[in-house]
Amino acid sequence: MEIKRWTILGLVFFIFSFSLQSMSQLETNSQAKWMLERLTGVRWPGNGPVLLQMSDLLSKGKKSEAIQLALAQPQFLNITVKQLALKMSSREENLRTEFNDFSATFMGITRDNLDSRELLTGNYFYMADPSKLPNIPSNLIRDILTSNNHYKALDNKSIDIGSILIKVNGQSVMNSNSTAVANPDPAGVLTSRAFMSAHAFAGTNRRPVEFAIREFACLPIEKWADTSASENRIGRDIDRFPGGDHGKYKTSCKGCHSVMDGFRGAFAKWDFPSTFAVHSGVNGTQGARAQADAKGVMTKLNKNETVYSGGYIVTNDSWINNANRGINSNNFGWRGFSSINSNNRGPASASMNDEVTGYGVNSFGALIANSSRFSQCMAKRVFDSVCIKSMSLGEQIQIMTLLGQDFERNNYNIKKLFESVITHSACH
Partner 1 sequence: MKQIKFIITWITIMSLSFIQGINCSQTGFNSMDFSSHNEIVPGQNINPDLPFALLNFDQAFQSMLNLTDQTQNIKTSQLNEFLLRESSLSAGNNLNMFNGPWLIATTSLAGEVCNGIIPVANSTNSNRIFSLVNFNGGLSELSDSSYYGTLDRMALAFWSRTSSNSEKVLFKDFRNEFVSNLSSTQMTQAAQTRNLFLATCSAFLSSFDSMTY
Interaction site with partner 1 (CB under 8 A) = 33-34, 37-38, 41-48, 51, 75, 78-79, 83, 87, 92-96, 157-158, 214-215, 218-220, 376-377, 380-381, 384, 388-391, 393, 396-397, 400, 428
Write down the least CB distance from residue 351 to partner 1, Å. Answer: 29
Give me the least distance between CB of 388 and partner 1, in Å please: 4
Shortest distance (Å) from residue 217 CB to partner 1: 9
Farthest-apart Cα atoms in the chain, separation: 107
Identity at 374, one-letter amino acid code: F
Nearest to 414 by CA among 47, 80, 173: 80
CB of 428 to partner 1, least distance (A): 8
How far is Cα 173 from Cα 106, in angstroms, rounded to an integer? 19
* Separation of first and last alpha carbons in the chain: 50
- CB nearer partner 1, residue 54 or residue 320: 54
Cα–Cα dist 7/388, whole Å: 50
Instruction: Output the smallest distance, CB 96 to partner 1, in A.
Output: 6
To partner 1, the closest distance from the beta carbon of 396 in angstroms equals 5
Smallest separation, CB 62 to partner 1 (Å): 21
Shortest Å distance, C-beta 84 to partner 1: 10
The Cα–Cα gap between 261 and 252 comes to 14
Q: Which is nearer to partner 1, 94 or 178 (CB)?
A: 94
Complex with partner 1: residue 127 or 218, whichever CB lies closer: 218
Contact 104, 163 (CB under 8 A): no
Distance CA 111, CA 80 (A): 12
Between residues 77 and 301, which has the closer beta carbon with respect to partner 1? 77
Pick 20 or 397: Cβ nearer partner 1:
397
Nearer to partner 1, 19 or 339 (CB): 19
Q: What is the spatial distance between Cα 400 and Cα 395, in angstroms, rounded to a whole number?
A: 8
Torsion of CA 23, 26, 32, 33, to 10 degrees: -140
No. of helices (H) and no. of strands (E), the chain: 17, 8
Closer Cβ to partner 1, 68 or 401, answer by number: 401
**CA-atom Rg of the chain in angstroms:** 26
Q: How far is the CB of 73 from partner 1 (least distance, A)?
A: 9
CB half-sphere exposure, 413, CA atoms < 13 A: 11
Minimum Å distance from CB 191 to partner 1? 21
Please state the closest distance from residue 85 (CB atom) to partner 1, in A.
13
Decide whether 92 or 245 has the Cβ nearer to partner 1: 92
Task: Using the minimum distance from each CB to partner 1, give the nearer residue, 34 or 201.
Answer: 34
Q: Note every long-range contact of 289-292, with CB atoms under 8 Å and residues 24 or more positions apart, other chains counting.
A: 289/176, 290/176
- Which residues, other chains included, contact 156 with Cβ-Cβ below 8 Å and sequence gap of 6+? none
**414 close to 378: Cβ distance less than 8 angstroms:** yes
CB nearer to partner 1: give 36 or 361: 36
Q: How far is Cα 352 from Cα 355, in angstroms, rounded to an integer?
A: 5
CA distances from 345 to 184, 270, 278, 338, 356 (A): 12, 17, 20, 10, 13
In whole angstroms, how far apart are CA 368 and each of 224, 334, 350, 356, 393?
13, 8, 19, 12, 22
Q: CB-wise, 119 or 301, nearer to partner 1?
A: 119
